[in-house]
Amino acid sequence: MTAKPLRLAFIGAGGITSAHSPSFKNHPGLLKLVVVADASAGAARKLAEPFGAAAYDDAERMLGERAGELDGVIITTPHFLHHPQAAAALRRGLPVLVEKPATCTVAELDALMALEKQHGAFVQAGQMQRFGGSERWIKRWLHSEEFGEARLFNVDIYQNIEGYVSNKPEAWILDKAKAGGGVVISVAVHILDLLRFWLEDDFVEVYARGRFDPPFKNGAESMAAVTLSTRKGVVGTLNASYTAARCPYSQRTLLFGTHGTLAQHMDKLGGGYAGSYYLSTDGGQPSPEWKMMYSGWQPVDERFKSEPLEEEWPGEGSFERQLLAFAEGIRRGRALENSLARNRNTIAVIEAIETSLAGGRPVSVA
């Protein structure tokens, strides 16, 4: 007997839904969008109509009237709404996929975990980079003898916020009271969580310095430079800026092991979400010649094609794989990837960075 499509709702009809919504068209036998709720009735209708879904301008009213018709909820609203809206869904026994960050604080995340146990539902934290094909292949390589033991990382993530907020003078993302912070919680959350996923490790201490330039307010950082250490003894740095002049979204990664190196650099301006990955390994052998440091680099995409990774959730891109994982989790009754328990250290390290930025001292990660 063929299972019926899972009936899902969007809470939030902003721009990020354009990354999630194609999955409903690509998998009509698995996923069905039945309702959209957004404070803007027009935005809700615009997203709902192509799918024949209902539209609401109030999420609480939608849940009150439609919860019994739903199998799960996708939350894509501003950060400060993630906790109360996820809590409202859990109290009605509905599984939740919530966009990053899952919550603004550890206390909020812990409260949701308590509601999970109380109501028998779950939350999957939306960290889409965990579901990238190259990223999942890289995780396997980082735990091979070619890479060895992780020792050091350096990660950078930049974006110029001006273009994003030019027509939004009261943009919530600029206000720490609504965003939970600045560039770290809104953008650097991607690479911090990805490092944890790759290394199967947690952060234990941070020391952060930053700037708080306009248009950010209420203590939201515009830039941050952070040193971090992990439970397994890996050390590294994070540099993040939301006010990098004329800079599109860009991400850079260097990760050094005892036998290998992973490198990611932006290939071209405006050329994609982030740069391509490259790897190199000494194969556990000495490299006595100077020229050896310039040889042996390979694009990860080439290795990925020649040594494919069996996908748990085959799909078109990371957002689709993430939603397919959520769907399978609904059928099994638990989060299969990035549960709140797994995501906790990601929120905890961000909170520690915010505390360090405010106090100018090293901070242990709760």
- 308 domain-assigned: yes
Least confident segment among 49-63, 125-139, 148-162, 238-252 = 238-252
Q: Is 302 found in the same domain as 267? A: yes
Question: Rounded mean pLDDT of 40-51?
Answer: 98
In a domain, 176, yes or no: yes
Tell whether 148 and 279 lie within a shared domain: yes
Is residue 149 domain-shared with residue 80, that is, in the same domain?
no
Distance CA 246, CA 248 (A): 7
Instruction: Give the count of alpha carbons within 13 A of 63, CB side only.
Output: 23
CATH number, domain at 35? 3.40.50.720
- Sorted by sequence, the CB contacts under 8 Å of residue 191 that are 6+ apart come out as 129, 155, 157, 238, 251, 253
pLDDT of residue 288: 77
What CATH number does residue 180 fall under? Answer: 3.30.360.10
The tally of domains found in the chain comes to: 2
Higher pLDDT, 290 or 135: 135
* 1 lies in some domain: no
Q: 122 and 139 share a domain?
A: no
* pLDDT: which is higher, 95 or 306: 95
pLDDT at 333 exceeding the cut of 70: yes
Give the pLDDT confidence of 335-356 residue by residue, as tens digits.
Answer: 999 999 999 999 999 999 999 9
pLDDT in tens, 137-160: 999 999 999 999 999 999 999 988
Q: Based on the domain organization, do 106 and 233 belong to the same domain?
A: no
Predicted model pTM: 0.95
> Which domain, by its residues, includes 70?
6-129+316-339
Report if residue 113 sits inside a domain. Answer: yes
Q: In this predicted model, what pLDDT tens digit does every residue of 67-89 receive, in sequence order? A: 999 999 999 999 999 999 999 99
Residues 221, 140 share a domain: yes
Closest by CA to 205, choosing from 224, 229, 226, 238, is 229
Q: Which two tokens stand for residue 101?
A: 């960050």
Task: Kindly state the percentage of the chain with pLDDT values over 70.
Answer: 97
pLDDT (mean) for 301-326: 90
Residues 225 and 330 in one domain: no
Burial 17-49 (b: 16+ CB within 10 A, else e): bebbbbbbeebeebbbbbbbbbeeeebbbebbe
Flag whether pLDDT at 298 surpasses 60.
Answer: yes
Lowest mean pLDDT: which of 111-125, 200-214, 265-279?
A: 265-279
Residue 115 lies in a domain: yes
Predicted local distance difference test score (pLDDT) of residue 296: 81
At residue 134, does pLDDT exceed 70? yes
Q: What is the mean pLDDT of the chain?
A: 94
> Are 15 and 147 part of one and the same domain?
no
Task: Look up residue 217 and give its amino acid.
Answer: K
Q: Do 69 and 203 share a domain, yes or no?
A: no
Residue 1 has pLDDT above 50, yes or no: no
Give the strand pairing for 72-75 and 123-126: unpaired
What integer pLDDT is reported at residue 292 of this predicted model? Answer: 78
pLDDT, tens digit (0-9, with 9 covering 90-100), for 181-208: 999 999 999 999 999 999 999 999 999 9
- Indicate if 245 and 265 belong to the same structural domain: yes
In a domain, 358, yes or no: yes
Q: Looking at the structure, do residues 258 and 216 belong to the same domain, yes or no?
A: yes
Establish if 104 belongs to a structural domain.
Answer: yes
Please name the amino acid found at residue 358: A
What is the rounded radius of gyration, in angstroms, for the C-alpha atoms of the chain?
A: 21
Q: How confident is the model at residue 310 (pLDDT cuts 50, 70, 90)?
A: confident
The answer to whether residue 96 sits within a structural domain is: yes
- Please state, in angstroms and rounded to a whole number, the distance separating the CA atoms of residues 273 and 69: 36
Q: Do 229 and 265 lie in a common domain?
A: yes
